[in-house]
Amino acid sequence: MKIIENVKSIMDEIETIKQNNNISYKIKICAATKYVGVKEMKELIDTGIYHLGENRVNDFLEKEATLKDEKIVWHFIGNLQSNKVKKIIHKIDYLHSLNRMSLAKAINKYREDVLNCFVEVNCSEEESKHGLNMEDVVSFIQSLEKYDKIRVIGLMTMAAYTNDEAIIRQTFKKLKMIQKKIIDLNLSYAPCQELSMGMSNDYKIAIEEGATIVRIGSRLFR
């Protein structure tokens, strides 16, 4: 019952933010299911949340096999090692962590159809985080033109884990600025209309700053 209540609460919050900020586009919730099992995931699907995101390859493979009869749109939201691409690349619908050329090459080698990808950017500039440096994003995306199995639908980032709202907001603003640069390039393989940013602790700020997909975990399940 708690998952149902949590979903309703989050949906109400998102609707209020959209109204207060004159946002007309749809905000997708990608449920980060790293710390929950199949039972909770089924409960979540029953509420209408079927975009599910996993961080680890082995966990993803196990859950995907168990839930193969469910209507799920699978997102891989963790760092993906190039040598593990072959294991999952035909089973996911979205990748949120395209962050290096070796990964792009592996995706193009093993994927049979076009994969919707987010390029991961380290806008918080923390050494502990994966992602491209902000100044390298444009050239990286331009270099993806020859990889016909990759479609850059957007950018992804994670803000620092802090209570300082100004720091969080500035991180998301940076990603939005980079997105505008990519859109202005008018690249057919990189429309870059989406922004994957915001988690349980900061998704409200992320939506205010332009997020189209928020990756929510604990807020859904606790």
Instruction: Give the pLDDT of the chain (222 residues) as one tens digit per residue.
Output: 699 999 999 999 999 999 999 999 999 999 999 999 999 999 999 999 999 999 999 999 999 999 999 999 999 999 999 999 999 999 999 999 999 999 999 999 999 999 999 999 999 998 889 999 999 999 999 999 999 999 999 999 999 999 999 999 999 999 999 999 999 999 999 999 999 999 999 999 999 999 999 999 999 998
Question: By C-alpha distance, which of 123, 144, 127 is closest to 206?
Answer: 123
Contacts of residue 177, Cβ cutoff 8 Å, sequence gap at least 6:
none
Domains of the chain are 2-221 (3.20.20.10)
- What is the per-residue pLDDT for 1? 60
Q: Enumerate the β-bridge partners of residue 155.
A: 119, 195
At residue 161's C-alpha, the angle toward residues 79 and 49, to 5°, is: 60
Q: What is the pLDDT of residue 128?
A: 85
The per-residue pLDDT for 127 is 87
Say what the pLDDT of residue 19 is: 98
- Which one, of 198, 199, 194, lies nearest residue 212 by Cα? 194
